[in-house]
Amino acid sequence: SDATAAATTVDGSALAGRALAAAGTRHMFGVVGIPVTSLASRAAAAGVRFLAFRNEQSAGYAAAAYGFLTGAPGVLLTVSGPGCVHGLAGLSHATANAWPLLMVSGSCDQADAGRGDFQELDQVAATKPTWKILAKLAALAAAVSGRPGGCYLDIPSDVLHQTLPESEAAALIAAAANSAASDPAPAKHKSLDEGVEKAADLLRRAERPLVVIGKGAAYARAEEAIRKLVDTTGIPFLPTPMGKGVVPDSHPLSATAARSLAIGQCDVALVVGARLNWLLHFGEPPKWSKDVKFILVDVCEEEIELRKPCVGIVGDAKRVIELINREIKDNPFCLARSHPWVEAITKKAKDNVLKMEAQLAKDVVPFNFMTPLRIIRDAILAEGSPAPVVVSEGANTMDVGRAVLVQNEPRTRLDAGTWGTMGVGLGYCIAAAVAEPERLVVAVEGDSGFGFSAMEVETLVRYQLPVVVIVFNNNGVYGGDRRSPDEITGPYKDDPAPTSFVPAAGYHKMMEAFGGNGYLVETPDELKSALSVSFRARKPAVINIIIDPYAGAESGRMQHKN
């Protein structure tokens, strides 16, 4: 009754938990402690599944990946001070990758701030460089509007403990539900139609057109529209690492295996949801032709202003490509397979694929990177649809893996991303398992990448998630201690090399320690058997693959930057 409602009181923790639920939050990732323990259980009581991590850093990476996979902000909960600092990793990673995330952090008592309170930190100042907006629960809507990114919500301890009558709480919760329901789509840009017309015209007149598909297109769920564009125009496409799968890698117009030729010689590039940043060589010579005309489709106007393309279209990738498709339909064109450009790309791709397959076909033991990646690729492909989510990090493991592993479904690859962040793997796995419960999750990790967040194998076991973590164990970063004797000098010459870890570490035993399944493999047959058993079991597993420490290159393919 109204009388009882007026008499009951609600504290800040319950209010925040219920408001998050009312605003549509389904999952929350974090670590509890002072002052947010109650907030986590109150949110769970209101229907939000709380995934409790061992470190806020991994929880933050989980929330970031969840935002990418679902299009709803991943919510990260952290304790005050040091918890907030650890959480910054995820907040900034989300912003760097343009993925929606809301970090909710408890902070110290406002009354004691400035006098050395427990876990005191000016958290608003500390997080400021990385967030888009700071504004109560409108932050949830803000995380997904315009260019997605990280948002920060600070809740001081005294606010969490404050109480208010149930009737007032109910009104605030209703307001939170409404704020989340408001349309996050950006306002229609006045030049949209003009841009679409120009884009279609440029593509039609191009001699060597190319479609570049970024992870923004994957995020926008533009797969059907882009697939249709590629199929009706016959234009070859090149995905960025996380754009892989928007159009299947197996599609005959994939230019992945002819990347240098495609970007070096295209005369018009339609770039959808990808920044012309370091990953795409800034869109400049020598990798790109100096005369290439870019058509950029991005939800973020500043991005387009920054790059000054020939045609810039501000808008949602799915919507814009649908409009381009409609524009083309009135006057359709299609490059024939015998078109010299298409022929050049497909021939080059086929040659390169044959070369790579020849390398992959060999069973090299002790293992290089190629042999186990081929076996893993085939095991993943044998899973069919829904395809597993592949998580990948490391130097050589990620570089070689990007070329070998096949993505035929959108949003099935998660990797180090725009920042080249190492340590994302286990958090990503947990996010993928809860966001895509029908898919198996397979992480292909360098031993270094795995080590950043290896304790989260306990989290995998606790929630019994269908995640198989494969560790490429080559004794350290790039391959452990590979110094020549004359490089080893100075007072600390007897120390292990900064690149080295304990050789042949028993990473699989970490999983066994918590009751999951561990496998140590050194041969193709052992690997095939471990994959087959663990894929079928759909239970947490670590497969520890011993790799020849001399098989990899320093810095993977980024030697020039080290």
- Site residues, ligand ADP (CB under 6 A): 97-98, 147-148, 214-216, 219-220, 240, 242-243, 273-275, 277, 279, 297-300, 303, 316-317, 418
CA gap 102, 60 in Å, rounded: 9
- For residue 197, give both structure tokens: 């017309």
Max alpha carbon distance in the chain (Å)? 83
Alpha carbon separation from 308 to 335, 403, 429 (Å, rounded): 28, 31, 37
- Residues with Cβ within 8 Å of 214's Cβ and at least 6 positions away in sequence, in order, are 239, 240, 242, 243, 271, 272, 273, 274, 275
CB of 208 vs ligand ADP, minimal distance in Å: 21
In the complex, what is the shortest distance from the CB of residue 368 to ligand ADP, in angstroms, rounded to a whole number? 28
Minimum CB distance to ligand ADP smaller for 313 or for 545: 313
Strand partners, 29: 51, 76
Q: Is 286 exposed, middle or buried (0-12, 13-18, 19+ CB in 10 A)?
A: exposed
Closest CA to 424 of 396, 397, 450: 450
User: To the nearest whole angstrom, how small is the minimum distance from the Cβ of residue 222 to ligand ADP?
Assistant: 7
CB closer to ligand ADP, 149 vs 394: 149
Distance separating alpha carbons of residues 500 and 496, to the nearest angstrom: 6
We find the least distance from the C-beta atom of residue 317 to ligand ADP, in angstroms, to be 4
| Residue 365: count of CB within 10 angstroms of its CB | 12
C-beta of 30 vs 243, nearer to ligand ADP = 243
CB of 134 to ligand ADP, least distance (A): 20
3-state secondary structure of 339: coil
Comparing CB distances to ligand ADP, the nearer of 502 and 558 is 558
Nearest residue to ligand ADP, by Cβ distance, number only: 216
User: Is the Cα dihedral 361, 367, 369, 374 positive or negative?
Assistant: positive
* CA geometry: angle 27, 148, 106, nearest 5 deg: 50
Q: Of 270 and 299, which CB lies nearer to ligand ADP in the complex structure?
A: 299
Shortest Cβ 108–ligand ADP spacing (Å): 35
Q: How far is the CB of 95 from ligand ADP (least distance, A)?
A: 11
The nearer residue to ligand ADP, 71 or 366, going by C-beta atoms, is 71
Q: Which is nearer to ligand ADP, 283 or 466 (CB)?
A: 283
Are β-strands 413-415 and 389-393 bridged in parallel, bridged antiparallel, or unpaired? parallel
Q: Residue 314: what are its φ and ψ, rounded to 5°?
A: -90, 120
Contact by Cβ (8 Å): 195, 313: yes
Query: Do 142 and 116 contact (CB within 8 A), yes or no?
Result: no
Q: Cα–chain-centroid distance for residue 535?
A: 22
Least separation in angstroms between residue 242's CB and ligand ADP is 5
CB 529 within 8 A of CB 507: no
- Residue 70 CB, shortest distance to ligand ADP, in Å, is 13
Shortest Å, Cβ 343 to ligand ADP:
27
The residues, ordered by sequence, that sit 6+ positions from 113 with a Cβ below 8 Å of its Cβ are 120, 122, 156
Nearer to ligand ADP, 154 or 316 (CB): 316
**From the CB of 415, what's the least distance to ligand ADP, in Å?**
9
435 exposure class (CB count in 10 Å sphere: 0-12, 13-18, 19+): buried
Kindly tell me which of 20 and 274 has the beta carbon lying closer to ligand ADP.
274
* Pick 299 or 440: Cβ nearer ligand ADP: 299
What gap in Å lies between CA 290 and CA 293, rounded to an integer? Answer: 9
CB 426 within 8 A of CB 465: no
User: Nearer Cβ to ligand ADP, position 94 or 242?
Assistant: 242
